[in-house]
Structure 1
Amino acid sequence: MNIGNNCGRHFQSYFKAKRGYCTDLTKARFHALFNFFSMSFVPGQELKKDKHVCHLENSIPDDKLLPEVGPIHLPTSERVLKRFYASEGKCALWLFPFHCIQFNDSLKGNAISDDHLNDSPDLSSESDGDLMQRIIRATPRPQYLRNIAKSFIKNVIEQKMLNGKYLALHWRYNHGDWLFHCERTLKHKKSPVCDAVLETIDKPKMIAAEIVEFFNARPELEGIYIAAPLEERPLIDAIKSSIGETVPIFIGDSLMTHMLSMYPNCKWMKDNFHDIFSSLEQEICSLSDTFLYSAGSSWSRNIMMERHAQNIPNEKSWENVGLFFKALKKLHPESK
C-alpha cells in the first residue's frame, strides 16, 4: 500500500482519543491495520502494558488530559486540534477516534449538492456541516463490502420482489447495552423514552404489530431487512407471524451465508468477521428505500448521516422509538 511506502513502514506519532489501548481486541485491530498497510511498530516501541498501565511510545496527549472513561470530545476547531495533537511526525495514526469529534452538524440543513461536492472546498468559509458531508461522501465503506451488499440485494432481495424497494429495520433495544443507559438515567431524572421502552420491550407481538402497520402504510415497500442481534429472535418471529408469508423478510443469517459464499477462503475476513459483518449490514440499511433507525444508536446515526449526505429525503428515514409510544398508548388507552 502507498501509505506503508510513504511512511517508511512506521507511524511516527499516535494520536490518542482515550486512555487505554491494551485490550486483546484493540491489539488485534492494530495487527489487522498494520498487516493491511504492510507496516509495524518501530522495533522496541510496541504497545505494551507495564504495572497495569498501557503504554505506547510517541503517543499524544498525556493520559492526564484524557477522560478517565470513554473518549474525549473535541470541538471542530483547527486551533484546538493543532494544540492538542502537536506533532512534527511525517505520518500519524489517530487511534480509534470514535465519538471524538461529533458529526451531528452534517445532519443540519440541506445535503451538499453534487456540483458543490466536485468543487475544491474553501476551508476558510465552508461550514462544518458541509465539510463533514464531504468527509462522509469521500469515505464510503470498502469496495468489496459494497460489492457484497449490491450482490445480496440483486441476487437475494430483488429475486423476491418486483421493484426491489425494501424497509431496513435496525433494532438495538435490550436490557444490556441500550437499557443500561436508561436504567442509569432514571435514577436521576424522568425519561419518557426510557419509560416507554422499559414497559413495552418485553412485548414483541405488540411491537411487531406496530412495525407491520408502519410497513403496510407504505405500499411501495415489498420486503424487510432486519439488522438485530440474535436475542431479538422473538421480535423477528412475531413480525413474520404478523405480516404473513407473502412479504419476504431477510435477516443476518442469509446475508452472512451470501458473504461467505463470495469469499469462502478469506482468512482475513474470518479473523475480522464481527467488524466486517457489522459494516456490511450498515451498507444494506443505507441502500434501503426506507430506514427505521434505533434511537441513541451511533450505528444507526452513522447511516442517517450517510443517507442525508447522499440527499435521500428525510421522510425515508424514521426513528423507530416512536413505535414504543404507539404500543404504550394501546397498552394504556385511558392515558392521554
Structure 2
Amino acid sequence: MTFRATLRSPYLYKSLMCATGICLIALHCYRDARTSSQISKRGHRLRYEGTSARCDINWNPLKIAITEYEDHQVRGPKNGKVFVRNYKKYGTIPRRPKFLFPLLHFGPNNQLIGLRESIFVAIRLNRTIVLPTFLKHRTDKQIKNNNSPLISPNHRIDLVKLCEFVSCVTVGEFRDICNYEIDGIIPLRKLSVARLRNLEKRIRMRIVPKNPDAYRKKFISSVGRHSRLHRFVSEEIVPRFKSQKRCVIYALPYKGLRASDRAMILHDKVMTKLMAENPLTDEENTLLSIIDHTQAPRYVMSIAREYIRRYFEDENFIAVHWRYNRKDFISRSCVINPQILRIPYFCRRMSFRHFCNKDPITAKVCSTAKKFTALDFVYRIVEKKSYLKVRGTDVRHVYIASPKTERSFISDVSKMLRDKQGLAVLSSLHLEKFLSSNYKSCDFLVKTHLQDILSTIEMEVCRSATMFLRSIRSSWSENVAINRLISRNESWDRSNDSTIFAV
C-alpha cells in the first residue's frame, strides 16, 4: 500500500500555510497584515518595492521563499540557508522520509513532462517529491537582461493542487534536511563528473564526493554509463531504483517511462478509438491523474480567461501553434548560457547530429515546415472553419501562438485571414502587449519573466479553444493537447484536434 501512503500527504500544504506571513512569489515584497489562513482562503494581492501601484493578480499562495528557486549564485551551507524551519513540527510526514529531487532539463515543456514522470517514480518508490528548480528556455532574452536562467515553480504549476495530491517539500527544506549533501543518484543519461559539477552549481548541494573517482558509488542503478536515454516500464521502478539512501536526485528525466508514450498521445483520433477497445492501465490512469494535478497556476488560468473574455467575447475560436522557427527548432544552433552550462552539453559533443536529421519523421517534419507557405496556413484554417460550420459551430476568431522570430510569417497569415476570410486574428504579439499594458505593476511578470509566463498563458488560451491545431514534434503542443484531453469542457471539439500539417 505504498501508493496510498504517498498520495495526499497534507505536509507541505499545512506547513507552508502555517509559515510566516511573508508573501509568496516576490523577491522583494511587503509583509501582509492578515493571517496565513485568511490569505489561503481569499488569496491576496502582491505589492512590489519600487512600484506605487498594486499588482492586480489574486494569488492562492504557498509560502515559498523566491530565493530558493531564482537565486542562481553558488552558495554553501553557511550562507546559503534562505528558508530553514523545523520541519518535524508540521503535518504528518514520516519520521525519516525519503526524498526524490528531479533535476529537470531541456526546454520548459520538456521539463514539465520530466516532472510528471518524476512524480510517478516518487509515488512508486514511496518518496516525497522535492519541488524542483525550473529553467527558462535557452532563447529567452530576459536571461541576459536579468542574469538568471531560473524561474520559480509557482509560475509553472499550481503547487497547492500538486501538494494536496502527493507529499512534497521545497528545495530549501530539502537542503536543510539533507545537510546540503546528495547521497544517491538515479541517472537516466550519461553523467560525467563535469556535468554533475554544473548541476551542483544549479541546486547548491554537493553531488560529487571529495574524491571524484568515487562518484559512481552514489548511483542507485547501473544506468548512466551510456549516452542514450535509459527507458523503463513501471514494473522496473521498484527493483531498479529502490534504495535506503535518503536524499536522492532523479537526474535529467524526459520520457524515460514507457507508459507516458501511450498517455501523451491519447489526443490522436485513432489512438482514442483504440483506447475504447483497450482501456488504460492503472499506470496510465495514475499518469493522467498526475497531469491533472500539474496544471498551470491559478493566476495564469485567470489571466487567460480574462483575455478570452475580453477579445474573443467568450465565443468559439480556433487556436494554432506554429513551432517551426528556423533559428531554433529547425536549426538547433548552439546557444551558450554562461550561468548554467558554460557551453551547452550538446555543443560539446563532436558527434552531435543536426536535429532535423535525427530520425526520418523529424526530417520530414522539418522539410515540410520549410516549404509550408502562408497560403498553406490559411487553407488549413479555412478547412477547419468549414468543418466546424457544417457541424453547427460558427467560428469568427483565430489565435496563433508562435515564437518571436516567426511573427513576420504569422503577420502575413493574419492579414490574409482578415482580408479574405473576415476572421478576427490574434497572436502572441497581441497577448504580449495585453500583459505589458494591463499588468505593468507586476514586476515579476513584465520585467523578470515575461517571455516564460507569456508562453504558459498562451498554452491556457490554446487549451480553451474550440479546436486546436498543433505542431508535430513539439512538447508545447503535446502538453496543450493532453491538457485538453483531461479537461471537462464538452464544448471543445477535442476529438477533431489535428496537426497544422500532415507528414
Q: How high is the TM-score relative to the length of structure 2?
A: 0.49
How far apart are residue 293 of structure 1 and its match? Answer: 0.2
Return the letter of the residue paired with 1:247.
Answer: L
Alpha-carbon distance between aligned partners in 2 of 1:229 and 1:286, rounded to the nearest angstrom: 18
Return the letter of the residue paired with 2:501.
Answer: V
How far apart are residue 189 of structure 1 and its match? Answer: 5.3
Alpha-carbon distance between aligned partners in 2 of 1:320 and 1:105, rounded to the nearest angstrom: 22
Alpha-carbon distance between aligned partners in 2 of 1:31 and 1:62, rounded to the nearest angstrom: 29
Partner of 2:431: 255
SS in 1 for 2:398: strand
**Structure 1 residues 261 and 180: alpha-carbon distance in aligned structure 2, compared to 1, 3 A threshold:** closer
Alpha-carbon distance between aligned partners in 2 of 1:12 and 1:304, rounded to the nearest angstrom: 34
Q: Does 1:57 align with 2:212?
A: no
How far apart are residue 93 of structure 1 and its match? Answer: 6.8
Is the 1:226–1:250 contact (alpha carbons within 8 Å) kept by the matching residues of 2? yes
Q: Which of 55-64 and 165-174 deviates more? A: 55-64
Q: Does 1:84 align with 2:84?
A: no
**Structure 1 residues 230 and 34: alpha-carbon distance in aligned structure 2, compared to 1, 3 A threshold:** closer
Q: How high is the TM-score relative to the length of structure 1?
A: 0.69
Is the 1:170–1:227 contact (alpha carbons within 8 Å) kept by the matching residues of 2? yes
Within the candidate set 187, 204, 229, 2:403 is matched to: 229
**Structure 1 residues 215 and 18: alpha-carbon distance in aligned structure 2, compared to 1, 3 A threshold:** same
Within the candidate set 284, 288, 304, 1:149 is matched to: 304
Alpha-carbon distance between aligned partners in 2 of 1:28 and 1:84, rounded to the nearest angstrom: 33
How far apart are residue 12 of structure 1 and its match? Answer: 7.2
Q: Does 1:75 align with 2:201?
A: no
SS in 2 for 1:140: coil
**Structure 1 residues 14 and 209: alpha-carbon distance in aligned structure 2, compared to 1, 3 A threshold:** same
Return the letter of the residue paired with 1:45.
Answer: Y
Is the 2:319–2:398 contact (alpha carbons within 8 Å) kept by the matching residues of 1? yes
Is the 1:111–1:133 contact (alpha carbons within 8 Å) kept by the matching residues of 2? no
**Structure 1 residues 315 and 180: alpha-carbon distance in aligned structure 2, compared to 1, 3 A threshold:** same
SS in 1 for 2:152: helix
| Structure 1: 5+ residue stretches without partners | 113-124, 326-336
SS in 1 for 2:388: coil
Alpha-carbon distance between aligned partners in 2 of 1:297 and 1:101, rounded to the nearest angstrom: 18
SS in 1 for 2:431: helix
SS in 2 for 1:305: helix
Partner of 2:369: 197
Return the letter of the residue paired with 1:259.
Answer: L
**Structure 1 residues 208 and 131: alpha-carbon distance in aligned structure 2, compared to 1, 3 A threshold:** same
**Structure 1 residues 34 and 204: alpha-carbon distance in aligned structure 2, compared to 1, 3 A threshold:** closer
| Structure 2: 5+ residue stretches without partners | 1-9, 17-84, 89-96, 107-131, 138-146, 160-169, 183-191, 209-217, 333-352
Residue-pair matches, total: 303
Alpha-carbon distance between aligned partners in 1 of 2:152 and 2:418, rounded to the nearest angstrom: 44
Q: Which of 167-176 and 263-272 deviates more? A: 263-272
Alpha-carbon distance between aligned partners in 2 of 1:34 and 1:315, rounded to the nearest angstrom: 31
Within the candidate set 445, 454, 458, 1:281 is matched to: 458
Question: Pairwise CA RMSD of aligned residues?
Answer: 4.6
Is the 2:323–2:471 contact (alpha carbons within 8 Å) kept by the matching residues of 1? yes
Is the 1:13–1:92 contact (alpha carbons within 8 Å) kept by the matching residues of 2? yes
Return the letter of the residue paired with 1:266.
Answer: C
Is the 1:61–1:84 contact (alpha carbons within 8 Å) kept by the matching residues of 2? no
Within the candidate set 45, 55, 71, 2:180 is matched to: 45
Within the candidate set 287, 290, 293, 2:470 is matched to: 293
Alpha-carbon distance between aligned partners in 2 of 1:227 and 1:138, rounded to the nearest angstrom: 24
How far apart are residue 131 of structure 1 and its match? Answer: 1.9
Is the 1:61–1:85 contact (alpha carbons within 8 Å) kept by the matching residues of 2? no
